[in-house]
Amino acid sequence: MENIVEVENLVKSFGNKIALKDATFNVKKGETFGFLGPSGSGKTTTIKILTSQLQHTAGEITVFGEKLSKVKDPSYMKRIGILTDNSGLYERLTIYDNLALYCKLYEINVSRIDEVLETVNLVDEKKTAVQKLSKGMKQRVTLARAILHKPDLLFLDEPTSALDPVNTMHIHAGLKKLNQEGTTIFLTTHDMQEAEKLCDRVAFLHEGEIKLLDTPKNLSMQFGDSTIKLVLKGNQTLVVDKNGEGAEQIYQYLKNDQVLSIHSNEPSLGDIFLQLTGRSLS
Ligand X SMILES: Nc1ncnc2c1ncn2[C@@H]1O[C@H](COP(=O)(O)OP(=O)(O)OP(=O)(O)O)[C@@H](O)[C@H]1O
Site for ligand X in 2-31 (CB under 6 A): 14, 17, 19
Q: Is 203 in the site for ligand X (CB under 6 A)?
A: no
Angstrom distance (rounded) from CA 14 to CA 210:
19
- Among 45, 119, 168, 220, indicate the residue that binds ligand X (CB under 6 A): 45
Binding span for ligand X by CB under 6 A among 24-32, 39-47, 126-134, 140-148: 39-47
Q: How far is the CB of 178 from ligand X (least distance, A)?
A: 23
Interacting residues of 121 by C-beta distance below 8 A, sequence separation 6+: 140, 167, 170
Looking at the Cβ atoms of 32 and 84, the one nearer to ligand X is 84
Using CB under 6 A as the binding rule, whether residue 42 contacts ligand X is answered as: yes
Kindly state the smallest distance separating residue 4's Cβ from ligand X, in Å: 21
Closest by alpha carbon to 174, among 188, 185, 190, 189?
A: 185
Q: Which of 41, 51, 160, 183 binds ligand X (CB under 6 A)?
A: 41
Q: Minimal distance in Å, beta carbon 43 to ligand X?
A: 4
- 189 sits near ligand X (criterion: CB under 6 A): no
For the bound state, the minimum distance from the C-beta of residue 140 to ligand X, rounded and expressed in Å, comes to 19
**Could you tell me the smallest distance in angstroms from the CB atom of residue 246 to ligand X?**
41
- Helix extents (H) in 60-94: 74-77
Q: Is 206 in the site for ligand X (CB under 6 A)?
A: no
Q: Which is nearer to ligand X, 14 or 90 (CB)?
A: 14
Q: Is residue 151 within a helix (H) or strand (E), and if so which, with residue range?
A: none
Kindly give, in sequence order, each residue whose CB lies less than 8 Å from that of residue 107, ignoring residues fewer than 6 positions away. Answer: none
142 near ligand X, rule: CB under 6 A: no
Neighbouring-strand partners of residue 154: 81, 185
- Residue 12: which H helix or E strand, with range? strand 3-14
Contact status, residue 116 vs residue 81, Cβ threshold 8 Å: no
Euclidean distance between CA atoms 251 and 259, whole angstroms: 10
Check binding of 44 to ligand X (CB under 6 A).
yes
Sign, CA torsion 7/9/14/19: positive
* Residue 234 · residue 243 · CB < 8 Å: no
Per CB under 6 A, residues contacting ligand X are: 14, 17, 19, 37, 39-45, 190
